[in-house]
Structure 1
Amino acid sequence: MEISDTARRFADEGFAAVGEVIPPVDLEAYREIYDRLLSGEIESGDKRSDLGSHIPRKEGVRENITQIMWPSALHPPLLDLPLHQKALSVARELIGADAELDFDMMIHKAPFADTATPWHQDAAYWVDMPDHRAVSIWVALDDADVDNGCMWYVQGSHQQPLRPHRPTSDGKNIECDCSEDEPGATPVPLRAGEAVAHSGFTLHSSRGNTTGGTRRAYILNFRPAAMIQLERERGADHGLNENVRQVRNSGAAES
C-alpha cells in the first residue's frame, strides 16, 4: 500500500501536521467541556496536576501548566463527538491498522502564565514496550503560535536513542537537555481545530503563554492494541484507575 505524504513526513521527521480534525461547527462543544473540566464543574479528582510545578506560580494562577488525564473517562460524552474517531483514523494511517486509543489528556496554558513545558520525550515517562510504535495527536482548541505555546519538535530525534531524562526540580515531572537552538528544532503553529502528530521518541517542548488569550490543547495517544494490553498487564494505565472510575460514575448524572 502506498504511504501518504503525511505518513512519510511522520516517519522521516518524527512529527507531522495533519490538518483539521475538529470542524468549526464542533469546536465550541469541545471548548465548553474543556472549560467545565478546568473550572472543576466536571470533577477530575487526582487526575489534575501541574506540569510546571517546579516554577513559582503567579498570583491568580492555579497551575502553571494544567494537565488533566483521561477527560474521556471523566466525561464520557466526549466519545460521542467526532474527534476520537477522526484521530484514530489518523493514528492508523501513521503507525498501522492495529492502533487503538491508549489514553487522552488536556494540557492548558492560562493567559500570561508564561511557563515553558520542559523538553522531553514521551517514551521516557512510559514502561518500555517491545513494539515502540506510538503517536500522540496534539489538537489545538485555540489558535496556537510561538507566543502562546505551540509545539516545538526536533526533526529526526525519534531515530536517535532515548536521551537521559532527570526529574524537574520538584521531582514531579521530567526533562532532558535540549533547546530551540538544537539543529532541526521547529515550531508548528496551528489554527483552532487543527492537529500535529508526534512519535513517542520525538523531542518536544512548548514556550509559555505570554498572551492574554488561553491555549487549550487536547492530546490523544495511540499505540498497537497488543501493546496496550501488555501495558495494562504490567500495571501501566496512565491513571485510568478506580479513582477515575469513581469520579466518572459519581458525576455521570450531572454530565
Structure 2
Amino acid sequence: MITEQQRRSLLTDGYLGVPDLFTPGEIAEVAQRLDGLFDRFADLPAASVLDLGATDGEFGAEVPEILYPSSLSPQLRRTAVFRRGRALARRVLGAGTWFRFDHSIRKPPGCGYETVWHQDRVHKRSGLPERRLNIWIPTTPVGPADGCMRYVPRSHRNGVLPHEPVPGRRGALRTVGVAESDAVDVPLPVGGAALHLFETVHSAHPNSGPSTRTAWILQFTHPRTVLPTATLLHRAVYFGQTRAWRGKATR
C-alpha cells in the first residue's frame, strides 16, 4: 500500500512510481496467466485483440494488446495483485471505487514502437463526471531501454488537450505539442507499478532491450455511475463475442 505522502504526490503530479507494491511471486503468477493468453493470441476472440504497431505490419507481431484479459482468464481477478490493486485504488479515489477495465500490452525484444503521448480521457465514450486511476504493472524489470512508462508532471490539471491521429499507426491518437524535455521516466523493478490519473499525459518507450516487456494495466473508476447506452451496447457485444472462450477458460 502507499503512504499518505505518496497519495498526495500522485494527486499533485498526476503519476506515481511505486517500486514495492507486490512480491516477485505474486507477479510471477500474473505473468504465467498473461503469457498463456499471449501464446494463444491468434486464437483469441477478435473483440479481445489489437495491435498497436504499424498499419502495414503483421497483426499481432508488433505490439499485441489483449483487452479484458481477466475475463479471458478469470483467475487473474483472484490474484493478490488484483486484490491489492483494487484496495490501492479505493485508497486513492475513495469508497465506491470500482473496477472498470483491464488490458495487457506486450512489446517484443527490439520493438521500435513507442506508446505515443496521450491522455486516457480522450478515449472516453461519455461525458459523465468521474475520476479514474490506472495501475500499470510490468512482469519484468523495466527501464527506458525496456519500454518503461514516462509522464508529464501535473499535465492532468489542463483538461483534455488536443490530439491528432498518428499516420501509419493503428488507432493511435497523440497529444499535440508535448515537450519531451518535460518528461519523467518511471523505471521499475519486479513488483513495482506506475500509477496515473485519467487526464495525465503519458507514453512508454520502445523496447530496445533483449527481453519481452509485458504489462498488465488495471483501471478503476469513481464513482459508480449509470453507464451510457453506447457503453452498455459495447460491453454487451464484447461479452457476447467472447462468451464461448470464457466458458472454456472457467472449465
Q: Same fold (TM over 0.5)?
A: yes
The CA deviation at 1:117 is 0.7
1:188 aligns to 2:186 (yes or no) = yes
**Whole-angstrom CA distance in 1 between matches of 2:123 and 2:9:** 24
CA RMSD of aligned residues (A): 2.4
SS of alignment partner, residue 33 of structure 2: helix
Structure 1 segment 37-116 matched on structure 2, within 5 A: 37-40=37-40, 43-46=43-46, 47-54=48-55, 56=57, 62-116=60-114
Q: Which amino acid aligns with 1:8?
A: R
Q: Which amino acid aligns with 2:239?
A: N
Structure 1 segment 213-232 matched on structure 2, within 5 A: 213-227=211-225, 229-231=226-228
The percent identity for this pair of structures is 25
* Count of equivalent residues: 246
Q: Deviations over 1:183-222 (max 9, x none)?
A: 3x10000111211110110000111100111111100000
Q: Could you say which residue in structure 1 is the equivalent of 2:146?
A: 148
1:15 aligns to 2:35 (yes or no) = no
- Does the C-alpha gap of structure 1 residues 219 and 62 become closer, same or farther in structure 2, counting only changes over 3 Å? same
**Contact preservation (8 Å) 2:74, 2:249:** no
**Contact preservation (8 Å) 1:147, 1:211:** yes
Q: Could you say which residue in structure 1 is the equivalent of 2:6?
A: 6
Q: Which has a greater percent of helix?
A: 2
SS of alignment partner, residue 35 of structure 2: helix
Larger deviation, residues 99-108 vs 125-134: 125-134
**Contact preservation (8 Å) 1:42, 1:74:** no
Q: Which amino acid aligns with 1:48?
A: V
**Whole-angstrom CA distance in 1 between matches of 2:155 and 2:197:** 10
**Whole-angstrom CA distance in 2 between matches of 1:180 and 1:29:** 38
The CA deviation at 1:70 is 0.5
- Does the C-alpha gap of structure 1 residues 55 and 194 become closer, same or farther in structure 2, counting only changes over 3 Å? farther
Q: Could you say which residue in structure 2 is the equivalent of 1:136?
A: 134
Q: Which amino acid aligns with 1:44?
A: L
**Whole-angstrom CA distance in 2 between matches of 1:97 and 1:130:** 18
